[in-house]
Amino acid sequence: MKIKIILFVLILLMTCIPGCAPEPTVPDTSPDETTPPEATPDVVATASIVDNEADFEKAIGTSGTWIACLLNDLTFEKDIALEGEYTNGKKDDEGQDIIQRKIALYTQDEDRNVTNRFTLTAPKLTISSPNARIQSGTFKGDLYVTVPDFQLVDTTVDGNVYFTTEEAQSTFTMDATSQITGTQELQE
């Protein structure tokens, strides 16, 4: 009888312990302070936590999610694009859906402190989603921004940033912890 109890306890422990392992916390998916445009979004979506190129490419596409959160460095040998118009699930002061898109190059703890930063590498990343941002990591390659209100937050761009319209260039912002190693220029 004691052997059966011991075996039962061991089996119970073996099934419970793997489920108790801590997992990295992904970036908070609450909205950032942005002003939504007048357009109606194509998609309302949740976060996508990715650790491989195929899933990341799906997450940033037109059938993706409002936020793509990396769990490790990713490298593409081809050009990629952040496309589609998404809401982040929150409402503004007037009760309108907040349109936003985010590439999170980090994980965070329960207190929202960045715990890991990742590098996304591609020859070219085109930003075509309105109110988009890249946050807390490094992008290696050239950025092509086609929409207004693009932001870099705590991010390094190891490459150039090209704007395809004057509006995209004039509404671009980056915080004091962000940097661009190359040039910023308008290429209409």
CB-CB contact of 179 with 157 (8 Å) = yes
Q: What is the pTM of this model?
A: 0.77
Rounded distance, CA 67 to CA 96, Å? 19
Could you tell me which residues come within 8 angstroms of residue 91 by beta carbon, excluding any fewer than 6 positions away? Answer: 97, 98
First-to-last alpha carbon distance for the chain, in angstroms, is: 80
pLDDT tens-digit profile of 16-63?
444 443 444 555 555 444 434 444 444 444 578 999 999 999 999 999
> What are 68-99's pLDDT values in tens digits?
999 999 999 999 999 999 998 899 999 999 99
Give the residue with greater pLDDT, 39 vs 185. Answer: 185
Q: What is the pLDDT of residue 27?
A: 59
Q: How far is CA 169 from CA 10, 102, 106, 136, 141, in A?
A: 62, 18, 26, 21, 18
The residue count for the chain? 188
pLDDT (average), residues 159-178: 98
Tokens, residue 138? 């490094």
Contact 126, 134 (CB under 8 A): no
Sign of the dihedral defined by the CA atoms of residues 81, 173, 110, 73, in that order: positive
